[in-house]
Structure 1
Amino acid sequence: MLDRDAKQVGFVGVSDLDAAQRFYGDVVGLPLEDARPFALVHDGEHAQLRITLVDDVRAAPYTVAGWAVADIEAEIDRLATAGVVFRRYDGMDQDERGIWTAPGGARIAWFGDPDGNTLSLQAL
């Protein structure tokens, strides 16, 4: 059994670390540690995200990473201003910003990175 204080580490595969640096660092706003030639690392308080260089990115049709944010509308507006396009899904009642409200009340919006990986924002 893992130690209950173990820090979670997530991985996102990308084809170009320079493009990933621009997107995840400059656009999304994550402070990144350069671990080239293999990865970029975002070391958050509760989790670490390793943005890893891979030979063959196969973007999954589901969310691979996401962030819970205090003001989802403001984050969507900031990202949209930077050129991020939020995804819309058939059969999901999403508002004008692309936010879907789950039956349990969770509010979520999805967008993609330059390699097509699906990312999300969730309201706290």
Structure 2
Amino acid sequence: MTDSLKLSTIPHVAFVPINDKDKAIAFYRDQLGLTLIEDQSPFALIFDLNGTILRATFVGDFKPQQFTILGWSVPDIEASVKELTAAGVAFTRYPGMNDSHPLSIWTAPGGTQIAWFTDPFGNTLSLQQNP
């Protein structure tokens, strides 16, 4: 790596596939509270992720991946889950999760707590709180 290009020191861009502008705006802006920076239809919608660009890219028909593609590290996962639930976000309970947690929060062996949800396109997103 040359001294002029240090990817760890320059801003990065996150991507999420979408296929419907109205659903994407309703979810990412209105439910999750992200700021819509620019509408570049028919190519992408640009949202602010606390200084990082989220490029919601129009891809037509696609099959969502079965793993998390975007996540947030939160200081209080229970409060965050409750707030998003109040905004209409439904959290996912996977087979094998501890079914006793009323908010669908799973605790990993290392102590990290994770809660998963999907966007209107089937993309898996998550919240996590580190121990």
TM-score scaled by structure 1?
Answer: 0.90
C-alpha distance in 1 between matches for 2:51 and 2:111: 24
Aligned length: 124
C-alpha distance in 1 between matches for 2:27 and 2:77: 19
Corresponding residue for 2:47?
Answer: 42
C-alpha distance in 1 between matches for 2:98 and 2:51: 32
C-alpha distance in 1 between matches for 2:23 and 2:10: 30
Q: Between the two proteins, what is the percent identity of the paired residues?
A: 48
Corresponding residue for 1:101?
Answer: 107
Post-superposition offset of 1:13: 0.4
Corresponding residue for 2:78?
Answer: 73
Task: Tell me if the contact between 2:116 and 2:124 (Cα under 8 Å) persists in the aligned partners.
Answer: yes
User: What secondary structure sits across from 2:98 in the alignment?
Assistant: coil
User: What secondary structure sits across from 1:32 in the alignment?
Assistant: strand
User: What secondary structure sits across from 2:35 in the alignment?
Assistant: coil
Unaligned runs of 5+ in 1: none
Post-superposition offset of 1:100: 0.7
Q: Tell me, yes or no, if structure 1 residue 16 matches structure 2 residue 16.
A: no
Structure possessing the higher radius of gyration over alpha carbons: 2
User: What secondary structure sits across from 1:26 in the alignment?
Assistant: helix
User: What secondary structure sits across from 2:92 in the alignment?
Assistant: coil
User: What secondary structure sits across from 1:93 in the alignment?
Assistant: coil
Post-superposition offset of 1:45: 4.5
Task: Tell me if the contact between 2:34 and 2:49 (Cα under 8 Å) persists in the aligned partners.
Answer: no
C-alpha distance in 1 between matches for 2:50 and 2:119: 23
- Over aligned residue pairs, what C-alpha RMSD do you find? 1.6
Runs of 4+ residues deviating >2 angstroms:
42-48
Task: Tell me if the contact between 1:8 and 1:46 (Cα under 8 Å) persists in the aligned partners.
Answer: no
